[in-house]
């Protein structure tokens, strides 16, 4: 199951931090394996959120370069050259939570434009390889005119659209990106309860089914954990926190978002299986 996390305003709508939180919460609660990746090369990546600013976050080992097959770029390069074989993904995976959550690290040794071109060219076989190794793939998909972004949104079974309570962001999305709505569910990030643009009003204005819309409020403690590479510890520690905890509302929102996404993914998987049997 291929799930793209995307936004027309990714920084304001916290695409990466939402994906990171939901991926950890999903594997704590559900018996699925998830592989995470992104379609951009940056030192500020999911690896940094999962395990901090260590040398493992970007693989600069001596002798490592794009053509040696190190990191996500090396994996893409192998597929681009047709060098594919059974179980080829395993050496490229960084285990985040044992047997359940994985990340494909980056090497950081080539230009983004070269990486984008080759990723867009081989995104379909790459995702097929990932689906053979895990139940779900979460893709942090940058908002731009990148070839790989367009390819990923086309290939995705489900698109998690991250929005916020800013009128200009909402209008821009529904005016310019309505084509993704049929296979989208929506998260309102940095949610403020007192805003005039509450989630019920947003759902009514844009005719969104309530079961396809949820919210995640801002949480300073989580954001600090995200920046410091300790989100696994933070989410594990607070997963069952009491109502008295300052993190309770945030955790309930993340768990609800994870439930909504996993439920939708399971439904789509069953539908695909039924269609396959009929054919």
Q: Answer left, alpha or beta for residue 207, where phi above 0 means left and psi between -120 and 50 means alpha.
A: left
- Out of 62-76, 112-126, 127-141, 224-238, pick the least confident: 62-76
The 10s digit of each residue's pLDDT in 39-82 is: 999 888 999 999 997 544 444 443 444 445 578 999 999 999 99
pLDDT of amino acid 165: 97
Please answer whether residues 185 and 157 qualify as being in contact, where contact means their C-beta atoms are separated by less than 8 angstroms.
no
Q: Answer left, alpha or beta for residue 7, where phi above 0 means left and psi between -120 and 50 means alpha.
A: beta
C-alpha–C-alpha distance, residues 36 and 39, integer Å: 11
Residue 155 has pLDDT above 70, yes or no: yes
H/E stretch holding 102:
strand 101-103
C-alpha–C-alpha distance, residues 251 and 248, integer Å: 5
The 10s digit of each residue's pLDDT in 211-232 is: 999 999 999 999 999 999 999 9
Residue 273's Cβ-side half-sphere holds a number of Cα atoms within 13 Å equal to 7
pLDDT of amino acid 68: 52
**Through-space distance between the first and last CA atoms of the chain, rounded to whole angstroms:** 20
pLDDT of amino acid 60: 43
- Domains, the chain, with CATH or none: 2-58+135-278 (3.40.50.300)
Parallel/antiparallel/unpaired status of strands 136-140 and 34-38: parallel
The 10s digit of each residue's pLDDT in 230-274 is: 999 999 999 999 999 999 999 999 999 999 999 999 999 888 888
Q: Tell me which residue of 19, 3, 21, 20 sits closest to 238, measured CA to CA.
A: 21
* pLDDT grade for 107, boundaries at 50, 70 and 90: confident
CA distances from 248 to 26, 141, 193, 194, 218 (A): 17, 28, 15, 18, 12
Comparing 25 with 143, which gets the higher pLDDT? 25
Contacts of 90 (CB under 8 A, 6+ apart): 133
């Amino acid at each position: 199951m291929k799930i793209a996390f995307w936004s027309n305003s990714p920084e304001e709508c916290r695409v990466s931090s939402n994906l990171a939180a939901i991926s950890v919460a999903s594997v704590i609660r559900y018996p699925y394996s998830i592989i995470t990746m992104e379609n951009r090369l940056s030192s500020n990546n999911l690896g940094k959120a999962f395990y901090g600013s260590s040398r493992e976050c970007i693989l600069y080992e001596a002798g490592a370069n794009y053509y040696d097959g190190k990191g996500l770029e090396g994996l893409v390069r192998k597929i681009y050259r047709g060098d594919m074989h059974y179980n080829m993904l395993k050496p490229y995976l960084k285990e985040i939570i044992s047997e359940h959550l994985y990340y494909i690290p980056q090497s950081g040794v080539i230009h983004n434009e070269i990486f984008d071109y080759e990723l867009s060219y081989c995104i379909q076989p790459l995702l097929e390889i990932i689906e053979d190794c895990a139940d779900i793939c979460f893709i942090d998909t940058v908002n731009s005119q990148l070839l790989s972004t367009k390819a990923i949104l086309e290939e995705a079974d489900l698109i998690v659209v991250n929005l916020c309570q800013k009128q200009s962001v909402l209008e821009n999305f529904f005016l310019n990106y309505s084509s993704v709505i049929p296979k989208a569910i929506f998260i309102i990030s940095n949610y403020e309860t007192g805003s005039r643009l509450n989630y019920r009003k947003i759902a009514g204005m844009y005719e969104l089914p309530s079961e396809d819309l949820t919210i995640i409020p801002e949480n300073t403690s989580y954001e600090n954990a995200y920046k410091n590479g300790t989100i696994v510890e933070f989410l594990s520690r607070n997963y069952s926190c009491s109502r008295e905890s300052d993190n309770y509302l945030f955790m309930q929102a993340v768990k609800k978002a994870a439930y909504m996404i996993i439920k939708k993914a399971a439904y789509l998987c069953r539908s695909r299986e039924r269609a396959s049997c009929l054919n």
